[in-house]
């Protein structure tokens, strides 16, 4: 039984989800009251996009054991995805102050709370993540997004986005999010300054058509036709490959 569960965990950690599912099923056949096996089954279902099944397995696990941090967050997010937003908030919000939560898990908690339409609590979770890791660029960027959603002044949103970009200056998502923010604030000169030195490779790394359209229009307005042409070519590639737009946070 223990061997099956250990092997299942190993398979799960290496993204071999089908093998992990078979092994955890063996463990549960040997002991249907094994809370950790139910917990792992829930995480596997979640990884496979089987959300109702993940909820069922994690709820079963909680009957026998206290859920591990990652499983607690996973269950909270899953509740939100099946429309049980009140339950999602009730489960996720106390986890913000749980000392077991890593910065990464705190950002996942924030995502779940925002999906449950509580950007104020999402902001608190992201802030907690940056308190735990002051160099966590994603935490500051997410804070900016939740701050905007919560109605905070634009200067706060901009400060947080710039803080994220200062920590990871080569992160295209942060850069493009800030460009969008500046364009909405009627500050095209500053926006162009953020993309005026984009390389060919960087332009080809942008996979969000709507973001790229904005940047291309900015290039054209500034007479930067070489980059504008490269951007148009990348947009065409994305359209041919039917890549959906995926705007970075900060697009609000």
Q: Sorting pLDDT into bands at 50, 70 and 90, what band is 252?
A: very low
43-80 per-position pLDDT tens digit? 999 999 999 999 999 999 999 999 999 999 999 999 99
CA atoms within 13 A on the CB side of 96: 20
pLDDT band at 3 (very low <50, low <70, confident <90, very high): confident
* Tens digit of each residue's pLDDT (9 = 90 or more) over 100-135: 999 999 999 999 999 999 999 999 999 999 999 999
126-183 tens-digit pLDDT: 999 999 999 999 999 999 999 999 999 999 999 999 999 999 999 999 999 999 999 9
Provide the pLDDT for residue 4.
83
What is residue 250's predicted lDDT score, i.e. its pLDDT? 46
| pLDDT at residue 243 in the model | 79
What token pair was written down for 33?
Answer: 């009251």
Q: Where exactly are the structural domains of the chain? A: 170-252
Assign 3-class secondary structure to 92-117. Answer: HHHHHHCCCCCHHHHHHHHHHHHHCC
User: How many angstroms separate the CA atoms of 30 and 17, rounded?
Assistant: 20
Please write down the HEC assignment for all residues of the chain: CHHHHHHHHHHHHCCCHHHHHHHHHHHHHHCCCCHHHHHHHHHHHHHCCCHHHHHHHHHHHHCCCCCCHHHHHHHHHHHHHCCCHHHHHHHHHHHHHCCCCCHHHHHHHHHHHHHCCCHHHHHHHHHHHHHHCCCCHHHHHHHHHHHHHCCCCHHHHHHHHHHHHHHCCCCHHHHHHHHHHHHHCCCHHHHHHHHCCCCHHHHHCCCCHHHHHHHHHHHHHCCCHHHHHHHHHHHHHHHHCCCCCCCCCCCC
Q: How far is CA 2 from the centre of its chain?
A: 33
């Amino acid at each position: 039984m223990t061997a099956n569960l250990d092997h299942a965990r190993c398979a799960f950690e290496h993204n071999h989800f089908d093998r992990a599912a078979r092994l955890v099923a063996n463990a549960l056949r040997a002991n249907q009251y094994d809370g950790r096996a139910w917990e792992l089954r829930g995480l596997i279902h979640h990884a496979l996009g089987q959300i109702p099944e993940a909820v069922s397995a994690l709820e079963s696990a909680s009957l026998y054991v206290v859920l591990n941090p990652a499983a607690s967050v996973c269950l909270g997010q899953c509740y939100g995805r099946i429309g049980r937003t009140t339950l999602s908030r009730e489960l996720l919000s106390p986890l913000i102050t749980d000392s077991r939560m890593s910065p990464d898990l705190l950002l996942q908690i924030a995502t779940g709370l925002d999906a449950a339409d509580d950007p104020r609590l999402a902001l608190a979770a992201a802030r907690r993540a940056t308190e735990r890791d002051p160099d966590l660029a994603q935490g500051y960027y997410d804070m900016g997004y939740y701050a905007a959603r919560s109605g905070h002044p634009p200067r706060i949103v901009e400060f947080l986005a710039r803080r994220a970009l200062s920590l990871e200056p080569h992160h295209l998502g942060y850069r493009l999010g800030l460009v969008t923010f500046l364009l909405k604030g009627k500050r095209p000169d500053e926006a162009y300054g953020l993309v005026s030195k984009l390389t060919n490779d960087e332009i080809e790394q942008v996979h969000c058509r709507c973001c790229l359209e904005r940047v291309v229009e900015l290039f054209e307005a500034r007479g930067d036709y070489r980059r504008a042409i490269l951007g148009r070519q990348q947009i065409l590639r994305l359209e041919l490959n039917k890549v959906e737009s995926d705007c970075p946070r900060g697009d609000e």
